[in-house]
A and B are shown apart, each in its own frame.
Chain A
Amino acid sequence: MSRYLFRRTLEAIPTLLGTSVLIFALIHFIPGDVTSAILGERATEEAAARIRALYGLDRPLTEQYFIWMGNLARGDFGETIRGGIPISLELSRRFPATAELALIALFLATLIGVPIGIISSIHRNSLLDAVSMFGALLGVSIPIFVLGLLLIFIFGVELEWLDFVGRIDNDISIPTITGFYLIDSLLQGNLRAFGNAAGHLILPALTLMTVPLATTARITRSTMLEVLGQDYIRTAHAKGLTRRAVIVGHGLRSAMLPIITIIGLQMGGLLSGAVLTETIFAWPGVGKWLFDSIVARDYPIVQNVTLLVAGIYILVNYLVDLLYAFADPRVRVAA
């Protein structure tokens, strides 16, 4: 196990470094000078040169890269170009917003998707199976921006049940403890704030959870079908175990690993989805911020936040791999 751990860790590091090089290269190939984003199109050459010197953009590219890496190693994310706000400060406000949305979406997707998949696999080829699998296919096929607008129209505009702009009403304030509004408002015992935050969260969470929910249900079904066809399942039935014990204890237990892997892999999709969801619902999170920064060429934000996002994705998949190896001896022996 420790050998596998060592090997897998050694593999994750070059991926992360390669990612940082790729991000750096992409940003510095983006045409259009940062200076014109700060000073406007009609800036004088001296002013532009001053700005370049200020941000170290006049140095050789390799040097700029190592300065960036050095700053990161000290935990220094730098400042935004427009506004000069420390990126770590802005990140501490925005990251919980995206994390709350994404975690709720992933949690609900798992909570609903896994049972749907199991039930479909048990009642294979029944009407129930056909309906839920068609629903899952529809869920994979409906783009986030179509679903979001549809939900806004039905529940926000026509029925006026739920809010669809921002995280909370402007006149309600919650002191930041964790940054998760649902938790912070409960810690405070402020039920009005909790209800308001939940009312804002439901539509974006529904929008973001549809794809992972549908994917989880489909994968759970196909994995369960594969497992339930195995000989040891027949043996378990034959020795007189209850149906529930066979399906949960023998079937689900071995199907769990591929399901966990897929849930981990959803992370990348969730982050792409967050860009669109946050744009539609004016959600003050990382996705919208990153998109705006790419368009505005605010390169310190793009460079650091993209690396953070890719890093989280690599880390999650690394942990999933470890979990896999921990639970399945064949993986670590084969490696």
Chain B
Amino acid sequence: MAAASGTETKQDRRVTPLQSVLLRLWQNPNARLGGAIVCLMVALAILVPLLDAGYDPSRDRNLRARYAEPDCLIGWGLRTLEGEWSCDHPFGADKLGRDILRRVGHGMSTSLRVGVFVVIIATSVGSLIGLLAGFLGGWFESIAMRIVDILLAFPALLLAIALVSMRGAGLMNAMYAIAITQIPIFARLARSMAISLRSSEYVLAARSLGASEFRLLSAHVFPNSLAPLIVQATLLLGTAVVETAALGFLGLGQQPPAPELGKMLAESQQSLQSGKWWVMFFPGITIVTIVLGFNLLGDALRDALDPRLRGQ
């Protein structure tokens, strides 16, 4: 009740739509958790490459530290008692003695950059196609949407695998491939928004005042379809991170020795069978945290932007 009355007093003071969305986000504990995770991850993704600029993945090996166990993070109390406290490898080391904390840090940074890049491409290309299709209709709509249907009929990962093998394995190609698999999702969403807005009264009003098609699209239809596109983009950021890691896991993404979370997981398979869990655990938990953060935030954004839930 306290939260509800708080909303009412705020609304009495004429809050802008943006403020009301931010307020609704702040009132949602999931949004706070998701926001905190995303902020932390973004900060780390920016800081790690700056603070550890001298990192050279090809000279990272240290065979004396092969499969070193996580030291100060786990089993900390025990070792302090025995008097051999050290903090060389908080996350342990892999089969080449490379420090997993360092590799996870750089890998996470790569994953986030890739995710953002993928979603920017997919959102801009997909929304453009979808808005044009929905607004113009006619043959452009028929052809564009038929292609979208076909692309959506493919399992996304298989399509990405095929596209990558067309152009050769590598991080850039993996990025483009995943962006292409996400374009149809945005195109379909933007089209449905454009169709519903095309016949709305304020668009009709603007049209009768003599606004050009371009002006209708850019000043009226596009800004009003932004909210669902932003929600979708947030949710697909998580998907983009997972799919890039999946291609890396299958050996089609980032090539060694550069650190990438999916590739690290693939390499951890053999050490897993001899009980060396840390080689798998830390890259794994990092991906899960990133994706969970985006999903929490995306879900909460959708709830905050959904006008049907207003005033509840």
Contacts and interface: CB of A to CB of B under 8 A. Distances in A.
B155 A15 contact: no
B155 A268 contact: yes
A272 B158 contact: yes
B157 A275 contact: yes
Chain B interface residue count: which class?
Answer: 35 or more
Contact of A302 (B152, B162, B280): B162
A24 to B, nearest CB: 12
Interface in A128-174: 134, 137-138, 140-146, 149-150, 152-153, 157-158
Which of A142, A143, A275, A313 counts the most B-chain CB atoms under 10 A from its CB?
A143
Interface string B271-284: 01101010011001
Interface stretch (B130-138, B193-201, B285-293): B285-293
A254 interface: no
B55 interface: no
B162 A26 contact: yes
Interface stretch (B101-109, B220-228, B243-251): B243-251
A18 B299 contact: no
Contacts of B163: 26
A314 B238 contact: no
B235 to A, nearest CB: 9
A294 interface: yes
A138 B156 contact: no
Secondary structure of the B contact surface, majority rule: helix
A223 B213 CA distance: 38
Interface string A1-39: 000000000000011001100100011011100000000
A149 B168 CA distance: 27
A209 interface: no
Nearest to B290: A141
B269 interface: yes
Contacts, number: 126
Contacts of A146: 265, 284-285, 287-288
B162 A15 contact: no
Contacts of A295: 165, 252
A309 B296 contact: no
A304 to B, nearest CB: 14
A271 interface: yes
Contacts of B296: 137
Interface stretch (B43-51, B114-122, B143-151): B143-151
Interface in A285-300: 290-291, 294-295, 297
Of B150, B151, B238, B266, most A-chain CB atoms within 10 Å: B150
15 contacts: A18-B146, A26-B166, A137-B30, A141-B288, A143-B288, A143-B291, A145-B249, A145-B262, A149-B284, A157-B272, A158-B275, A275-B157, A295-B165, A306-B154, A317-B153
Interface of B: 30, 146-147, 149-158, 161-163, 165-168, 238, 242, 245-246, 249-250, 252, 262, 265-266, 268-269, 272-273, 275, 277, 280-281, 284-285, 287-288, 291-292, 295-296, 299
